[in-house]
Amino acid sequence: MKFGKEFEAQLVQEWREAYMDYNYLKTILKDILHFKQKHTASPMTATTKEGRSLKRKVSFYRAFSGLTNKYRSYSPRKNRHEEDEAILVSSKVDEGDQYQTMFLMSSDEGGQFEVVFFRRLDDEFNKVVSFYKKKVEEAVAEADELSKQMNALIALRIKIDDPMLAGANISPSSSVSIHPNNGSKQQGQLHMEKIQELEMSSEGSSDGKTRADMNGFSRASLEVLDHVKLNVEPETPVSILKGVLMSSKSDRSFSRNELKKAEALMTRAFVEFYQKLRLLKSYCFLNQLAFSKIMKKYDKITSRNASKVYLQMVDNSNLGSSDEVTKLMERVEATFVKHFANGNHRKGMHTLRPKAKRERHTITFFLGTFFGFSLALIVAIVVAIHARNILESPGRTQYMENIFPLYSFFGYIILHMLMYAGDIYFWKRYRVNYSFIFGLKQGTELGYREVLLLSSGLAVLTFSCALSNLDMEMDPNTKSFRALTEVVPLGLLIIVTLITFCPFNIIYRSSRFFIIQCALRCICTPLYKVTLPDFFLADQLTSQVQALRSLEFYVCYYGWGDFKRRSNNCNQSEIFQKFYVAIAIIPYWFRFLQCLRRLFEEQDRVHGLNALKYSSTIVAVATRTIYSLRAGKTLLIVAAASSGVATIANTYWDIAIDWGLLHRNSRNPWLRDKLIVPIRSVYFIAMVLNTLLRLAWMQTVLGFTEAPFLHRTALIAVVASLEIIRRGIWNFFRLENEHLNNVGKYRAFKSVPLPFNYADDENKGS
């Protein structure tokens, strides 16, 4: 693999703009090479028009050595031949590590190209050094904060695990004596370990003050608890309400449960901080290697010896000489192994270092197997329908009203999973860091093959049950057992539910539990802080209204015993109709509450406008659903007007806000400045498709509830499928926009809340 591709594959996507622009520097070197080849072929050829314009352009960028000694040279002349000195590298002392290269042979033919090269090379190097220095300073500051947090955590451990030692009035110079009558030898050893743990926590302090003696400890380390307050968020709605109602609870009361939560937060903070250090070290190494490669290419093309001088400057800069990141990594490893892995180095490093996701051939094999089975089952179902002539039989209407809604639920889920698999494929292809955006634990995120495997497996189960249902109808021996025939879809639903909530570590448990957790947070929306996975899942639910209604039909059909009579009386029930309207509103209600929560926390009026948009959608969905149940001219006018307003508002919000498009004066007119997909027409096609599929949302209002060749339930399923397809398209561009926002802000890490708040810090912030 060429270095350019390897460099592109290993860089941190969110820091892309901060890396050396290797490809652009290569294009300049290609221009130099082409000029030299042309000059060698026809030395008497006059300078072209482009060459003259370039020479006039680069004359503005020729280096000037200066009249004073404010430049510090990195290439002093010591017994070198004059022809070997191609460049002179210097640093501006008064501007702080701003490096500049003076090309000493600009008078040579073609020298203007090399001046441009070194000018751009300096810009790239100064950009890299500045970014690296800033990130190292942030890492050092974060390490200091983690040290303060560790002091509080260790003090809390002593207070909770050993209250006798924590409450003892021991002076800094006193010693700890172990009395056999008062406790066992193990208890005394535990006391000594606690003291040593307290001492070790202060070893990395920046002030370098006096450490505790091995025979005693300073009470100041325990007194830190008097100046901190736990910042542990409640985990359940009950605990949240309890914390709000019991506001008189003392901030200084600590419990073992709070200690566990604090340790979990500190573990996450250390893992995230270590990952940041790893990427920062990789950033340093990749850029050093890139500058080395580009300078060697320059020497090879120009037959000069400039790389040695320039790379010496690189080694002397912060990029090459700073070892703070390496020292921080070593200190983090030692601290984490000691305090969070009980000294087990292998266990600690297994937690700190990310796990590379392996591609397994078994997934591809079973994916192909299930996909083949699905195709075969589809063919078998078509043959069975044709053999029984079900489409023209008198029981067609009864089957479409009773059985089809039961199986259509799984069809919606399968289609949504297929669209999501396609999204993952294109996210990976265009380097969208979807696992970071969703906050997935590295190594546990599902790839498109895994999602396709799950969807094809569910398709096999669904088609098998549908075919078995038809076979029972065809078999005269079992035709009388109608109740058993009707129970097949319910059995399938129970199997899928059991697999989803299975507690064992099978069938991607971490991903299943992640979705369940996000769903619970959506249900309890006002009580939880809204994160991107939460509102992203709620958006998916807004496109699965028909699937939710199918679940309601399951409850009605089997709960009220209609399956025993093979009759459908659900639509005549007033309770069913009320829930039919409420279920359609619930996903939009979740999003409405999430927008209000974000408006309350972030004080951003955009969330208020988004809440207003969802409120208009709720009105449109409610009136449209009521009109579908009870037709009337007044309801038709209200439903059409509200649906039109909601469709326009949602379409504009999709394209302009969620996708970040429709910028008239951007570098890509009517799109945005930065695009991930290189073909711009894709964005215009997506905007048109999104608008057309949004219009399909109004089909029930406009009266197209039945077609000559399709049953009403089939037409509703088609429209619901179109909405799922629209959502799949929306997903890709929504995460693309989020990824570009992260790139623009160099946001490559999750912000992990720390467990302790210091009173001094609160006073400074107030």
**What is the mean pLDDT of the segment spanning 12-30?**
88
Which pLDDT does position 704 carry in this prediction? 55
pLDDT digits (tens, 9 = 90+) for 562-608: 787 777 788 788 888 889 999 999 999 999 999 999 999 888 899 99
* pLDDT band per the 50, 70, 90 thresholds, residue 167: low
Residue 229's H or E segment, with its range, is strand 228-230
**What is the mean pLDDT of the segment spanning 153-168?**
72
- Count of residues making up the chain: 766
Looking at per-residue confidence, does 140 or 78 come out higher?
Answer: 140
Phi and psi at residue 91, to the nearest 5°: -125, 135
Which pLDDT does position 679 carry in this prediction? 93
Residue 72's H or E segment, with its range, is strand 71-73
Looking at per-residue confidence, does 296 or 178 come out higher?
Answer: 296
Integer Cα distance of 175 and 158 in angstroms = 17
Integer Cα distance of 511 and 440 in angstroms = 8
Burial class for 765, CB neighbours closer than 10 Å (0-12, 13-18, 19+) = exposed
Integer Cα distance of 374 and 462 in angstroms = 9
Mean pLDDT of the chain: 79
Looking at per-residue confidence, does 20 or 485 come out higher?
Answer: 20
State the DSSP string of 407-458: HHHHHHHHHHHHHHHHHHHHHHHTT--HHHHHTPPTTT---HHHHHHHHHHH
The DSSP 8-state label assigned to residue 206 in this structure reads: T
pLDDT digits (tens, 9 = 90+) for 240-273: 666 655 554 444 567 788 888 888 889 989 998 9
From the list 117, 150, 129, the residue with the least C-alpha distance to 754 is 150
Adjacency order of strands within the sheet including 98-103:
71-73, 87-92, 98-103
Identity of the amino acid at 526: P
State whether the Cα torsion 694-695-698-699 is positive or negative. Answer: negative
Is 64's pLDDT higher than 80?
Answer: no
Is 36's pLDDT higher than 70?
Answer: yes
Q: How is residue 308 written in tokens?
A: 């040695």
Which pLDDT does position 698 carry in this prediction? 66
Which pLDDT does position 1 carry in this prediction? 58
Q: Are 715 and 696 in contact (CB under 8 A)?
A: no
Question: 48 — alpha (psi -120 to 50), left (phi > 0) or beta?
Answer: beta
pLDDT digits (tens, 9 = 90+) for 673-703: 999 999 999 999 999 999 999 887 666 555 5
List the single range of 41-50, 506-515, 639-648, 686-695 with lowest mean pLDDT. 41-50
Is 5's pLDDT higher than 90?
Answer: no
Integer Cα distance of 391 and 212 in angstroms = 86
Which pLDDT does position 360 carry in this prediction? 81
Integer Cα distance of 755 and 218 in angstroms = 23
Which pLDDT does position 508 carry in this prediction? 92
**What is the mean pLDDT of the segment spanning 384-390?**
80
List the single range of 207-221, 508-522, 721-735 with lowest mean pLDDT. 207-221
* pLDDT band per the 50, 70, 90 thresholds, residue 177: very low
Integer Cα distance of 300 and 33 in angstroms = 10
Q: What percentage of the chain carries pLDDT values higher than 90?
A: 36
Looking at per-residue confidence, does 151 or 763 come out higher?
Answer: 151
Which pLDDT does position 363 carry in this prediction? 92
Phi and psi at residue 73, to the nearest 5°: -85, 140
Q: Are 660 and 740 in contact (CB under 8 A)?
A: yes
Which pLDDT does position 308 carry in this prediction? 85
* Strand 71-73, strand 98-103: pairing: unpaired
Is 492's pLDDT higher than 80?
Answer: yes
State the DSSP string of 703-733: T---BTTB-HHHHHHHHHHHHHHHHHHHHHH
Which pLDDT does position 2 carry in this prediction? 79
Which pLDDT does position 49 carry in this prediction? 44
* pLDDT band per the 50, 70, 90 thresholds, residue 96: low
Is 361's pLDDT higher than 80?
Answer: yes
Which pLDDT does position 559 carry in this prediction? 87
Q: What percentage of the chain carries pLDDT values higher than 70?
A: 76
Integer Cα distance of 719 and 736 in angstroms = 26
Q: Are 234 and 240 in contact (CB under 8 A)?
A: yes
Which pLDDT does position 763 carry in this prediction? 52
List the single range of 180-184, 371-375, 389-393 with lowest mean pLDDT. 180-184
**What is the mean pLDDT of the segment spanning 314-327?**
86
* pLDDT band per the 50, 70, 90 thresholds, residue 233: low
Looking at per-residue confidence, does 557 or 396 come out higher?
Answer: 557
Which pLDDT does position 708 carry in this prediction? 62
